[in-house]
Amino acid sequence: MAKVSGPLFSLEARGKIADSVVYFPWKGRHVVRQWLKPTNKKSTLQGYVRAALKAIGLEIAEIWCIANKDTADAKLYSINTEKVTAGMNWNAFHAKGFLDLLQSAGTFVTGSFTDLVVEYSSLVASKVASFESAASNLGMDSFAFEYGYTTPILAGCQLYFGALAAYHNSLLAAAPYNTNPNAWDTGDIGSFEADHHTA
């Protein structure tokens, strides 16, 4: 049943009528459109996109969670909020740095996501161990997605994606942010971990 404000003149309407039309506000306007039953087809490409979003989202959650626990904001939170472009949230800005790496001519490419996962696993063993240790210290966990990209995404790999986002967004002109994370040493990885929870 549709809900209306200002009966008779119907100044505002919200909701659906049967399974035919939906009334709702959108960008300050009152609009109506055909009702479409939402679908979740769980395609392979959709699975890749969702796995990528979950991976960077979990790293962002660590920045946000720690920033809200401490009396001083985490350094990464502060840098992102200072650097963010007008009209964008800091977390969307941070994620954009990673998602831009997954774009080719404006289209998400599944190969680019797997390439980044392979790039991480191909790092020198000591670097992978450092990323895994840092992710563990932050309380991050590995996960596996149920469709699309189903290979487990290690916690350190999620942290690596966050490092790529910071590098791609040119957060700071200083080390380690001015260097591609695939060239970071153990000290750089430790600094990146520390920046998640120190001002």
Does 99 share its domain with 156? Answer: yes
* Domain span including residue 25: 3-34
Backbone dihedral angles phi then psi of residue 154, each to the nearest 5 degrees: -65, 150
DSSP 32: E
Residue 158 lies in a domain: yes
Low-confidence ranges of the chain (pLDDT < 70): 1-10, 65-73, 104-108, 199
Query: CA 143, CA 198: separation in Å to the nearest integer?
Result: 26
In-domain check, residue 163: yes
Rg (Cα) of the chain, in Å, rounded? Answer: 21
Q: What is the pLDDT, as a whole number, of residue 86?
A: 85
pLDDT single digits (tens) 60-71: 988 876 556 654
Cα first-last separation, the chain = 51
Same-domain pairing of 102 and 163: yes
**Contact (CB, 8 A) for 52 and 113:** yes
What pLDDT score was predicted for residue 31? 83
Enter the tokens of residue 189.
């990885």
Strand partners, 15: 23
Cis peptide bond upstream of 25, omega within 30: no
Q: How many domains are there within the chain? A: 2
My answer on whether 110 and 176 are in the same domain is yes
- For residue 106, the model assigns a pLDDT of 63
| Predicted pLDDT of residue 68 | 60
In 32-175, which residue ranges form alpha helices assigned H by DSSP?
Answer: 44-69, 75-83, 90-101, 110-121, 125-137, 155-168
In a domain, 39, yes or no: no
Report pLDDT for 140.
Answer: 93
- Distance of alpha carbon 199 from alpha carbon 192, whole angstroms: 12
In a domain, 50, yes or no: yes
The token duo for 106 is 């404006």
CB 140 within 8 A of CB 58: yes
Retrieve residue 56's tokens: 């960077």
Exposed/middle/buried for 158, CB within 10 Å: 0-12, 13-18, 19+?
buried
Residue 50 shares a structural domain with residue 147: yes
